[in-house]
């Protein structure tokens, strides 16, 4: 490598580091997460093995034999050294020794059996209450005990005298593990979600409608401000630019206020006898109208600026020429201005498709996917699944898998756009001749 190349690389390195940190690492993490079953239940650090009511239910669901599940759930009584030591401390050496010499290693499936055995001993405690208590000292159970490793759990279970076939052992350790594991089930799971196709459809609808609205409005604004006197045009542009610099939350709050059942629309229409209602969440169609308007108006300002400057870069003389050639205003727009806006329009479409696919903040703030999922789009679904879930179990893994689909669609779309635009060509030749 030549020294100049090294130098160039050196200058580039901050940018490379930023690309790595802000783009590649999140994508890699998304890929990684999407192949796990991480959720609130599993946590994102390692898990443990614990047999409890819930994990037994899971085990039964996973197809373990009923008798096996039952044995695991039962407590048993084992005469072992630990129990004998405890008994010695509580009820004296004599009793302990007697138990040790006569019953060591014996196993009882219920307390009553153990009590009955105790009663046969000479040095047993006198009261029935004490015998019950003494029996409790020998209670052994794997229930509600956390084991850090699978081996610990297996040992404990066998110590309790529960025999397991290797298959049962594997099933047990796999199903009751509380931490996350690697899996590729997320994609199959995603396909099984009943509303997933509706969400995909919503996403397409959202992108197409918002794009049409923002490009249409942007074009309209750019052209009208072009024909306006310059001072009026710049204040007009400033007004339309406000939504973009306004904090999103405030912008959406204003829309909500407009649509609330005690808000502007309802109050206004009350004068005409229309009953008040929440216009935004009233019906799915209404929600869509608001979503498209909110996003479209924000998007329009970008189009307005881009198209506006593109129109300004059309040489004056070309517009003059079209006038003396006899073109009316409309014909001038139709035949001279619009054709020369082809590239900016395509650029906005490409750019906005990509950003709309992944942006959901205005939907989240306004309808939150409602009413009844009518405006739920893919990115919002990923967000809801992974980070904001009414059921409370946040499924990070599944959410990441959903996000990964967006990344893939985005990359494919970018490749197509690069093909269409043929950026090298675009850079090489000016599209507007001077």
Partner 1 sequence: MRISIENFTKSFGDTTVIEDMSLEIGDGEMLALLGPSGCGKSTTLFAICGIHRMNAGRLMFGDADVTEVSSQKRNVGVVFQNYALYPHMNVYENIAFPLKVRKESKAEVDRKVQEIAGLVHIGELLQRRPMQLSGGQQQRVALARALIRKPDILLLDEPLANLDAKLRLEMRSEIRRIQLATGITAVLVTHDQVEAMSMCDRIALMDKGQIVQLSTPKDMYESPSSDFVAGFLGNPPIAFLDGTVADGGFRLANSQVTLPVPSGIEVPGEGAPMRFGVRPEFFQPGNPLKVPGKVSFVETQGREELYDVTLENGAVLRSIQSQNAGFKLGQEVSWGIEQDRVLAFGPDGNRL
Among 57, 116, 174, 320, binds partner 1 (CB under 8 A): 320
Could you give the CA distance from residue 269 to residue 276 in angstroms, rounded to a whole number?
8
Could you give the CA distance from residue 366 to residue 295 in angstroms, rounded to a whole number?
11
Using CB under 8 A as the binding rule, whether residue 326 contacts partner 1 is answered as yes
Q: Are 297 and 290 in contact (CB under 8 A)?
A: no
Smallest distance, partner 1 to C-beta of residue 425, A: 13
**In terms of Cα–Cα distance, which of 173, 208, 147, 136 is closest to 58?**
173
Closer to partner 1 at the Cβ: 267 or 331? 331
Using CB under 8 A as the binding rule, whether residue 432 contacts partner 1 is answered as yes
- Part of the chain binding partner 1 (CB under 8 A), chosen from 9-17, 40-48, 269-277, 337-345: 337-345
Using CB under 8 A as the binding rule, whether residue 120 contacts partner 1 is answered as no
Smallest distance, partner 1 to C-beta of residue 403, A: 41
Using CB under 8 A as the binding rule, whether residue 339 contacts partner 1 is answered as yes
**DSSP label at residue 273:** T
Using CB under 8 A as the binding rule, whether residue 45 contacts partner 1 is answered as no
Using CB under 8 A as the binding rule, whether residue 112 contacts partner 1 is answered as no
Smallest distance, partner 1 to C-beta of residue 215, A: 19
Using CB under 8 A as the binding rule, whether residue 422 contacts partner 1 is answered as no
Could you give the CA distance from residue 278 to residue 256 in angstroms, rounded to a whole number?
9
**Number of residues forming the site for partner 1 (CB under 8 A):** 23
Phi-psi region at 43: left, alpha or beta (left = phi > 0; alpha = psi -120 to 50): left
Using CB under 8 A as the binding rule, whether residue 312 contacts partner 1 is answered as no
Could you give the CA distance from residue 285 to residue 298 in angstroms, rounded to a whole number?
20
Smallest distance, partner 1 to C-beta of residue 331, A: 5
- Cα 10 off chain centre by: 37
Among 328, 355, 393, 422, binds partner 1 (CB under 8 A): 328
Q: Which of helix, strand or coil describes residue 240?
A: helix
Q: Are 203 and 377 in contact (CB under 8 A)?
A: yes
Dihedral (Cα; 55, 60, 64, 67), 10-degree rounding: 100
Site string for partner 1, 263-302 (x = CB under 8 A): ----------------------------------------
Radius of gyration of the chain (CA): 35
Site string for partner 1, 165-184 (x = CB under 8 A): --------------------
- Part of the chain binding partner 1 (CB under 8 A), chosen from 3-11, 75-83, 301-309, 317-325: 317-325
| Backbone phi, psi, residue 267, to 5° | -60, -40
Binding site for partner 1 (CB under 8 A): 315, 317-318, 320-328, 331, 335-336, 339-340, 342, 429, 431-434
């Amino acid at each position: 490598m030549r020294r100049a190349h090294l130098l160039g690389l050196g200058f580039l390195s901050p940018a490379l580091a930023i690309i790595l940190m802000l783009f590649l690492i999140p994508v890699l993490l998304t890929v990684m997460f999407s192949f796990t079953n991480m959720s609130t239940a599993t946590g994102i650090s390692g898990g443990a093995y614990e047999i409890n009511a819930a994990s037994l239910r899971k085990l039964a669901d996973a197809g373990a034999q009923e008798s096996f599940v039952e044995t695991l759930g039962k407590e048993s009584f084992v005469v072992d050294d630990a129990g004998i030591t405890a008994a010695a401390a509580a009820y004296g050496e004599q009793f302990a020794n007697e138990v040790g010499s006569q019953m060591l290693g014996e196993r009882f499936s219920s307390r009553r059996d153990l009590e009955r055995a105790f009663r046969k001993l000479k040095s047993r405690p006198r009261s029935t209450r004490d015998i019950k208590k003494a029996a409790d000292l020998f209670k052994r159970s794997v229930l509600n005990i956390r084991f850090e490793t699978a081996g610990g759990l297996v040992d404990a279970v066998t110590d309790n005298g529960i025999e397991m076939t290797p298959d049962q052992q594997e099933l047990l350790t796999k199903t009751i593990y509380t931490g996350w594991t690697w899996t590729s089930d997320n994609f199959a799971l995603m396909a099984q979600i009943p509303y997933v196709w509706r969400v995909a459809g919503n996403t397409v609808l959202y992108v197409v409608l918002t794009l049409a609205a923002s490009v249409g409005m942007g074009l309209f604004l750019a052209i009208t401000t072009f024909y306006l006197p310059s001072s009026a045009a710049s204040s007009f542009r400033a007004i339309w630019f406000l939504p973009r610099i306004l904090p999103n939350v405030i912008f959406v709050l204003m829309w909500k206020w407009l649509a609330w059942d005690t808000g502007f629309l309802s109050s206004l229409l009350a004068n005409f006898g229309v009953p008040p209602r929440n216009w935004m969440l009233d019906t799915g169609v209404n929600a869509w109208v608001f979503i498209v308007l909110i996003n479209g108006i924000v998007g329009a300002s970008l189009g307005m600026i881009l198209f506006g400057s593109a129109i300004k870069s059309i040489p004056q003389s070309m517009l003059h020429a079209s006038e003396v050639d006899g073109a009316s205003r409309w014909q001038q727009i139709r035949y001279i201005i619009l054709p020369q806006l082809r590239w900016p329009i395509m650029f906005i479409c490409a750019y906005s498709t990509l950003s709309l696919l992944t942006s959901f903040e205005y939907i989240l703030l306004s309808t939150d996917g409602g009413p009844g999922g009518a405006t739920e789009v893919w990115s919002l679904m990923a967000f809801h699944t992974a980070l904001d879930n009414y059921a409370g179990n946040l499924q990070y893994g599944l959410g990441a898998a959903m996000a990964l689909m967006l990344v893939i669609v985005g990359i494919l779309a970018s490749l197509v756009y690069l093909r269409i635009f043929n950026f090298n060509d675009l850079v090489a030749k000016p599209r507007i001749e001077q």
